[in-house]
Amino acid sequence: MSALADRLLENLSDGVGFWELKGRLIYNGVLGLVCGLHALHHPGRGLSHLLRWDGTGSLASFLIFAIMANVVYCAAYVPDQAIQLTPYRDGWRRWRWLLLAFGTLVGALLTYEALVSTSPFLPSAG
């Protein structure tokens, strides 16, 4: 293997170790917490209604949002892998948790909006 191929493989392994083994657990845990808090705040009409297929498409909408949230999470690999190819790799590895925190915050806000917009009992904000 060439030196570049070895470096790419090392960077990808490092990225998977951070983003999948640590980051995805945190990200999905926070999104699950948002869903749980939504269910607690709206008992009897929160997640229990959302996850029940009643012909309105609530479950389908929720699943689409869940898939989109995880696809968006994968976008973090692009800057991670690009920055790891620069001389700033060591500094990036110490500070990439900020990208995880920002992405998790955006994901949590999108999840909350998805829950509110797909709940038939809650007034929409628009």
The string of pLDDT tens digits covering residues 18-76 is 999 899 999 999 988 988 787 777 655 555 555 555 555 566 777 777 788 888 899 99
DSSP 86: S
pLDDT for 56 equals 53
Distance CA 31, CA 111 (A): 7
pLDDT class for 5, splitting at 50, 70, 90? confident
Tokens of 17: 């170790």
Give the ranges where 1-126 is alpha helix by DSSP (H). 3-18, 24-41, 47-50, 58-74, 77-84, 89-95, 97-118
Distance CA 98, CA 44 (A): 36
Task: Say which residue, 116 or 101, is predicted with more confidence.
Answer: 101
pLDDT digits (tens, 9 = 90+) for 77-94: 999 999 998 999 999 999
Q: Position 48: which residue type? A: S
Q: Position 61: which residue type? A: S
DSSP 21: I
Task: Say which residue, 1 or 93, is predicted with more confidence.
Answer: 93
**Crossing angle of helices 77-84 and 3-18, rounded to 10°:** 140
The domain ranges of the chain are: 8-118
